[in-house]
Amino acid sequence: MKRGTLRTGLRAASAVAALSLLLAAGCSSSTATSGTTAASKKANLAITFLPKNLGNAYFDTSDKGGKKAIDELGGTYAEVGPAAAAPDAQVQYINTLTQQGVGGIDVSANDKAAICSALQDAMTAGVKVVTYDSDTNPECRNLFINQATADGIAKVEVDMIAKQIGDSGEVAILSASANATNQNAWIDLMKADLASSHPNIKLVDVVYGNDDDQTSFDKTAGLLSAHPNLKGIISPTTVGIAAAARYLSTSSAKGKVALTGLGTPNQMRQYVKDGTVTAFALWNPADLGYLAAYATAALIKGEITGKTGDTFTAGTLGKFTVGANSTVLLGDPYQFTKDNIDQFNF
């Protein structure tokens, strides 16, 4: 397993509890300090996280990891974001942050192109732009912090569903929003892997729950009624898999239609314990946010520019090197089952 993968998973429980207290104390407000003047030598470590949407447990955890790093660095953390994961919903937040003169923006993109010119304006104004979790086009950001390789994420999902359905039968994908860069990359690679290595598995549908719980729940019902022979659902989104598990857990399809994909242990625990789900995967979102914040600070301080071969230290996660296309890799995806799920609390 590569360095960084879930290494802080086991101590996440106490960290999350401590961070919750900090957040409750008001540290998550969206105020950002104004930019440094040209004369000031002090790095502007006002770094704001902009997730795909608010109210998603995955981003709650990733952004708390960002806050932990920014606290360690003596900077100012903030989080802002839209209620719905719509393609251009993040533009207004980016424009406001640019006007406020933040030092850095860490964004998980709902659309790789729709937020591009707003991010380019931010960079022109001196803001460092880091994508994490879901990338933009490369010219719209200084760095992308990748949770795991797209190949690795696609492969673990295909391997899990193949194992769960005996490598044969109809499957469907319940994704996030239709434009999400990360899910779309993973879906393309899953399709290729299914076609080349699993001739007896047929992908019959791809539907989009928009990372909205109710929409994802309804789309699960729709898949089951549209495909009576469905043997499995892959949901490469923590919102989708939790909603699908909730639907399946009380339906006659429980135990007959397999469900796997990417989920958080806390959202999936009850469905693993009640037999709705046998295995799913993820990385540690808190480590992802933590790494993104340290990378942003390294850019702001001028320690790195984002070119291949640049190195920086991300606090307790250790040293990282910028790879091709200004991308930094956290680690490998990790599988959760009933045998290990209780070791994790995020």
Q: How far is the CB of 296 from ligand RAM (least distance, A)?
A: 18
Query: Crossing angle, helix 12-22 and helix 285-300, to 10 degrees?
Result: 60
Tokens of residue 123, six digits: 């960079």
CB of 28 or CB of 264, closer to ligand RAM: 264
294 binds ligand RAM (CB under 6 A): no
157 binds ligand RAM (CB under 6 A): no
Name the burial class of residue 145, with classes exposed (0-12), middle (13-18) and buried (19+) by CB atoms within 10 angstroms of its CB: buried
3-class DSSP state of 254: coil
Strands of 230-235's sheet in order across: 201-208, 169-175, 230-235, 258-261
Q: How far is the CB of 51 from ligand RAM (least distance, A)?
A: 8
Q: Which of 90, 142, 210, 238 binds ligand RAM (CB under 6 A)?
A: 238
Per CB under 6 A, contacts with ligand RAM among 180-199 are 180, 182
CB of 193 or CB of 310, closer to ligand RAM: 193
CB of 48 or CB of 146, closer to ligand RAM: 146
> Cβ neighbours of residue 21 under 8 Å, at least 6 residues apart?
none
- Please identify the residue of the shown chain whose CB is closest to the bound ligand RAM: 58
67 binds ligand RAM (CB under 6 A): no
Amino acid (one-letter) located at 123: M
Per-residue contact string for residues 20-59; x = within reach of ligand RAM by CB under 6 A:
--------------------------------x---x-x-
> Cβ neighbours of residue 33 under 8 Å, at least 6 residues apart?
44, 46, 76, 102
Q: How far is the CB of 318 from ligand RAM (least distance, A)?
A: 23
Strand-pair partners of 313: 319
Name the residue among 19, 28, 146 with its Cα closest to residue 80: 28
> Cβ neighbours of residue 196 under 8 Å, at least 6 residues apart?
none
Of 36-44, 166-174, 232-240, 307-315, which segment contacts ligand RAM by CB under 6 A? 232-240
Interacting residue ranges for ligand RAM, rule: CB under 6 A: 52, 56, 58, 108, 133-134, 176, 180, 182, 211, 237-239, 262
